[in-house]
A = this chain, B = another copy of it.
């Protein structure tokens, strides 16, 4: 146990650098001794100490991933994608949860810096500015997935979906189904949260194109979670005239909204069509199955990891000369039962 190259050097009767060379498949060594040392190594149960190695090579083959909560289905799918290509390239993932608090997010970055990660990926950062501040300190590239911060202009390395287009797709679909009173339930409206606003923009555009004047009263606030969807439904139900369709910031919101709708006796989609966003794995198992705008979550993770990898290799040579690398991925509409197969799309009052 705890055998080092020095130990195996001793029992092999060679110098420790020879062992190092053997283990690293150096060209400066004879096949004979290389083989001999290699099998001696695993006879002795040798495990290379990556700490020591990293200390000298100055890279750790490690990336830090910062999420708000791993519990969010969207997050975990993205992380999954990151993982996949990470260990394809022999990289290790250190996971941090910020719980949405800036302090914890900062602490996480600081800790990743201390661990000398080669790169950082952070998902849906609400406070991307923090990263900018730290980016000069942490001399590793940081790429942001679904940057929610708009204040600072565009962050150099991001991968994001076209939220405007996604919102457009959702609303246009409803319009095509014959809906004209279409509501939008937003995501978190906290500072620096552009994704919801972008989706709203696409929604508005689709309505306008169809000659429908967007009605401010039909835009209500959610929080990206089921309970927000429930509350939003109550707001809508309090209106004189209920919308015939609702576009929700995300699937979780849609779930909450459908749940609330069901309790008041409305049925989806007959009384109310619902479309979500994300296409979480469970979306197709809801009843009714949820029409939603699908984000390529795993692909986004993979792309982010790939971008990180390439930034890391650049960093070695061109010293931060890499310009901005933005990837914009496309989302697509997945049509399910929550919006189709209706007869009557005329507005109706609650319980009417």
List the interface of chain A (C-beta within 8 A of B): 1-2, 45, 47-52, 54-55, 60, 69-71, 73, 76-77, 79-80, 83, 87, 92-97, 110-111, 113-116, 136-137, 139, 226, 255-256, 258-259, 262, 281-282, 285-287, 289
Given contacts A47-B110, A50-B115, A114-B48, contact A71 B60 (CB under 8 A): no
Closest B residue to A268 by beta carbon equals B287
- Residues in B with CB closer than 8 Å to A286 are 286-287
- Residues in B with CB closer than 8 Å to A50 are 114-116
Closest B residue to A55 by beta carbon equals B51
- Please tell me if the beta carbons of A137 and B48 are within 8 angstroms of each other in the complex: no
11 A-B residue pairs with CB within 8 Å: A1-B137, A1-B139, A45-B137, A47-B113, A47-B114, A51-B54, A51-B60, A71-B76, A71-B77, A95-B95, A226-B285
- With most chain B CB atoms within 10 A of its CB, the pick from A49, A115, A256 is A115
Closest B residue to A110 by beta carbon equals B47
Given pairs A71-B73, A93-B96, A95-B95, 5 additional interface contacts (CB within 8 A): A47-B114, A51-B60, A52-B55, A71-B77, A256-B285
**A73: which of B55, B73, B256 is its contact (CB, 8 Å)?**
B73
Question: How distant is A263 from chain B, measured CB to nearest CB, in Å?
Answer: 9
**A255: which of B55, B60, B79, B285 is its contact (CB, 8 Å)?**
B285
- Residues in B with CB closer than 8 Å to A83 are 70, 95-97
- Residues in B with CB closer than 8 Å to A79 are 70, 95
Copies of this chain, complex-wide, total 2
- Residues in B with CB closer than 8 Å to A51 are 51, 54-55, 60, 115-116
Name the 10 nearest CB pairs between A and B, nearest first: A255-B285, A95-B95, A47-B113, A51-B51, A50-B114, A70-B76, A76-B76, A259-B285, A287-B287, A71-B80
- Please tell me if the beta carbons of B47 and A137 are within 8 angstroms of each other in the complex: yes
Q: For the complex, give the distance between the alpha carbons of A77 and B285 in Å.
A: 20
Question: How distant is A69 from chain B, measured CB to nearest CB, in Å?
Answer: 7
- Residues in B with CB closer than 8 Å to A111 are 92
- Residues in B with CB closer than 8 Å to A285 are 226, 255-256, 258-259
- Residues in B with CB closer than 8 Å to A80 are 69-71, 97
- Residues in B with CB closer than 8 Å to A93 are 94-96
**A287: which of B1, B97, B258 is its contact (CB, 8 Å)?**
B258
Q: For the complex, give the distance between the alpha carbons of A34 and B80 in Å.
A: 44
Closest B residue to A1 by beta carbon equals B139
- Residues in B with CB closer than 8 Å to A45 are 137
Closest B residue to A49 by beta carbon equals B116
Closest B residue to A72 by beta carbon equals B76
Closest B residue to A229 by beta carbon equals B285
Question: How distant is A70 from chain B, measured CB to nearest CB, in Å?
Answer: 5
- Residues in B with CB closer than 8 Å to A282 are 226, 255, 282
Q: For the complex, give the distance between the alpha carbons of A243 and B228 in Å.
A: 37
Question: How distant is A95 from chain B, measured CB to nearest CB, in Å?
Answer: 4
- Residues in B with CB closer than 8 Å to A55 are 49, 51-52, 55
Q: For the complex, give the distance between the alpha carbons of A110 and B113 in Å.
A: 24
Closest B residue to A97 by beta carbon equals B83
Given contacts A83-B95, A113-B47, contact A281 B71 (CB under 8 A): yes
- Please tell me if the beta carbons of A94 and B92 are within 8 angstroms of each other in the complex: yes
Closest B residue to A65 by beta carbon equals B95
